[in-house]
Structure 1
């Protein structure tokens, strides 16, 4: 009956089904949740940042930094924009190239796919929990699943695993894709939560907790990379865009450095203020750069009760180190349930970059988050999902 069976009605699986339908191929999607696009619907707070105008291979983490280039050459950001505009969704750019639907509704994104699947005769079976995948003697894939208390088996020559990664278990996230890959002898690149808040424990924990809710524009860096966006203090440590970004490059035991005043020099600003109004309290000066609560909290590390004229050279050096080289050694991260995506996955060496077919298992394809291609925050992971879905559709 079906040219291919897709496991997972997320971004990759839905795009794959639609693009296959455009090519006259009939597919079946098996989805564990009770509706398609569950993770799309909660993305971006329900607004769905569906691509990024600055997308390139440089915005992705993978053992093979070049692997995603083929998919992105086959399906570009312009292709994504044109696709959605064709079906009435026009993007509006927010910060750093992030594109959201003008309607600010992730439901509109999902509705495009479900409507097209219906028009193209592609079948989506929700509440379908796949239990077993086997290779038959004739080279077909036998997929056993349970749905509404009944067990069923379907067979296909082409199987697409687009079941996502481990984040957001309440949305039905599992390691299914990784299990299938291991079952067929494919290597898995080490997995970990990515785009995830970081925790702070120990003697500094209370200082961070007391600042919960305060946000500062910063440059956050480690030995690999830096990001300039907001950080957010929380009861458990640090979150916000810059922290989520650096978390994908962070490993336990490593330090991160935070510049609390990027693009400016605190020593130069203090010298200028000394000339104009040396009697001003250091605390008052800092309150002009940060919220009063943040400025007061700096009193743990800086002589905020002094007036600027009386700050010593050592005081200025201390302020420079604290403001521009604030060091944090996170205790850990908040885990998969607070992570946007999973880092790692099916090793790229196991797949053809041109088709996303497993080299060892003809007819078996992997796309989306379960592959070792992890994008930055800001629509990059959706662009990978759309691109990988398109590539697979053209090769099943």
Structure 2
């Protein structure tokens, strides 16, 4: 492998990462007459865009505000999100032929249900605007130099060193390494002496091990609408039992707020009171067995699984007050202590990242390194499930482009 001489380029900025943030940054810079080079390690840009929402891409959320983001500084995202709003995202995509349709809880998907259409907007615009994209190229290092930054790039079996006045690190987080995710953004942050807020998998399934695992295994595939909570937050969405524990939207949401060793609580029948329901039912049909009654509320399989925890072989009329209270406790405050999570292989995003106090909240420029910017998942701003992380990516890409 041979190294080329350092080459001064005419790019206004080199953008590392061809994901949502990097692509938006390149396009918005192009609108302003700036020329950028996007360097993407994968053979194609937009890998996570293409798999999001089951390949349909929930590209924003109508309810986006700073409240749906986890960060050491809860106010940090406000400036970026106000500079590029949900309305801006909707208008941008509509301009280029993508009309959104709302699904659950404010999630917006393309009418076509095809994530490829979202990526095509960016690749077409980059072509039209003269923005260059290198795929199958890996940035090895970045150094400060006269004239800006030297970016060493390996591609086609050789290393090139490019000089540009500004550099944007939008290389994503650690989730889904098989899709090319690396620690590059964090590694560069450490190299330049930037503080990193503790990182961990987020929006990730939770695992159950030991003596409780067989109970969850028997319910694998069962999905129930629940309220899941801990002492920080609660979510009302479906949970999914799996052979290794719990998944589904509500579990993915709470996982971002869960820490190892803690309990989570599940209300299996939110918005109802099981004790009152049983009392009403037994007035009409006291001979009905508790098992049959629970099978009407849930699935038969789930009702049977509760047989080792509840007196399911008794009829409703014979249930004592204490038994009804115990049923209520179990149904409305089902207590779970996860053993862990499924890790970065199954996580949708990374929690933590480059510490927000290292960056300008208005421009996302590194305070002590003028000309270097961080955006997207690299930063300690983590959104909820349902399009929020895309809105942060588009917004941070836009904000950086305005300041290149």
Choose which of 239, 250, 257 in structure 2 pairs with 1:249: 257
Superimposed CA distance per residue, residues 144-179 of structure 1 (whole angstroms, 9 cap, x where no aligned partner)? 111111211111111000000000101100010001
What is the SS of the residue equivalent to 1:228? strand
Query: Match for residue 126 of structure 1?
Result: 135
Q: Is the 8 A contact 2:147 2:164 kept in 1?
A: no
CA–CA distance in structure 2, aligned partners of residues 148 and 255 of structure 1: 50
2:96: which partner in 1?
A: 87
Within the alignment, does 1:69 sit opposite 2:78 as a pair?
yes
Cα distance in 2, alignment partners of residues 331 and 96 from structure 1: 29
Q: Aligned to 1:386, which of 388, 394, 397?
A: 394
Aligned to 2:7: none
Question: Hey, which bits of structure 1, 4+ residues long, moved more than 3 A?
Answer: none
Matched residue, 1:8: 17
Between the aligned partners of 1:105 and 1:321, the Cα distance in structure 2 is: 44
The C-alpha deviation readout for 1:302-331, integer Å capped at 9, x for no partner, is: 011110000111210110110000000000
Aligned length: 395
Is the CA contact (8 Å cut-off) linking 2:196 and 2:352 kept in structure 1? Answer: yes
Q: Distance in 1 between matches of 2:313 and 2:173?
A: 50
- Aligned twin of 2:243: 235
Residue matched to 1:192? 200
Specify which of 92, 116, 133 is matched with residue 107 of structure 1: 116
Alignment gaps of 5+ in structure 1: none
Matched, 1:166 2:174: yes
Q: Please list the CA deviations of residues 201-253 of structure 1 after superposition, one character each: whole Å capped at 9, or x if unmatched.
A: 11111000110000000000000000000000001000000000000000000
Question: Structure 2 unaligned runs (5+)?
Answer: 1-9
The answer for the alignment partner of 1:135 in structure 2 is: 144
Mapped partners of 1:367, 1:242: distance in 2: 27
Q: TM-score, normalised by structure 2?
A: 0.97
User: What is the root-mean-square deviation in Å for CA atoms of aligned residues?
Assistant: 0.5
1:286 pairs with 2:297: no
2:307 pairs with 1:299: yes
Measure the CA separation in 2 of the matches of 1:92 and 1:300.
Answer: 44
Which residue matches 2:46? 37
| SS at 2:310 equivalent | coil
Aligned equivalents of 2:273, 2:188: Cα separation in 1: 53
Alignment deviations for residues 258-301 of structure 1 (CA, whole Å, 9 cap, x no partner): 00000000000000001100000101110111011001111010
